[in-house]
Structure 1
Amino acid sequence: MAQKPRKTTMISHGIAAQNRKGRFNYAIKETIEAGLVLKGAEVKSLRLGRAMITEAYAGERDGELWLFNSYIPEYQGGVLSRFETRAPRKLLMQRKQIQKYLGAIAKDGATLVPLDIHFNPRGVAKVTLGLGEGKKNVDKRHAIAERDWQRDKARLLRDKGRGDY
């Protein structure tokens, strides 16, 4: 039997990649949105939603902000231009913002964590960065306990409303 070709959906706007562990591992104080310099094939691959930024981080190179260790797989749509999947990608921000966040990194020991890559309503790729500090294991355990309690509480309220005791 011949298999039907798998239909791929392209993301025109919305989240393309998400770092769920970013908010778990870091206490995010502030979020910022930055533009992302991409090649054409990288944008097409990103629109397929297969990128990963769980191990990515933002840092300084030559006085500018760059996104390091983000994974955007090669686009398999017959494009001849190949690109490096884990290449550093330049972040676009205003000079004053860059200086502010680089100062926070140097002075406070904060970290710029990429939280998600998304396409805005105009279809432009953006990165949401979180300025945060690493959480201790005690804080992580507290977050897990709080999340479990919220889930159990919702389950209890839902069951009580149905009359199931």
Structure 2
Amino acid sequence: MLSPTPLQTVAVCSALLYAKFVVTAITGAGKKFNSGNRAPEDEAAKPNLKQSFGIDESTALLPDQKEAKIEDIRWQRILSNDVENIPLGLILAWGSTVAGGNPTVTVVATIAFTIARLSHTLAYANGKFNWRVASYGLGLFSALTLAGNSIAGAFSS
């Protein structure tokens, strides 16, 4: 039988990270409107904002569009980073739980991974380089810890 504390922790953190992903995706989609980076047909949703996937060179940028393009790209990168890291981290967390890794290690590493991914988004969204790098490093360390804990659990008697 699976230990309830790691199972509960991984389940809650999985739900939190999925909710964070949804908020990030929706925020990023909104940033695309302001920068003109949505498909041309999307102008129907906001007719006052020209949309051209951001590649219409014949149209000069509106005063606020340069900053909007930067924000759009920033949120695209946040989303890309989440897509690269969250699924694998959660697979490792579930693996650590199911393989019978040390329950305390599973709980602490999963919570640390979740906090790292949330703080990474906040840091990236606010242009805080050192905070972003530290958050990424904590997430990476947590995922590696979960990987090791999974292997230890799988080979324990």
TM beyond 0.5: no
Larger helix fraction of residues: 2
Larger strand fraction of residues: 1
Instruction: Give the TM-score normalised by the residue count of structure 2.
Output: 0.29
Instruction: Give the TM-score normalised by the residue count of structure 1.
Output: 0.28
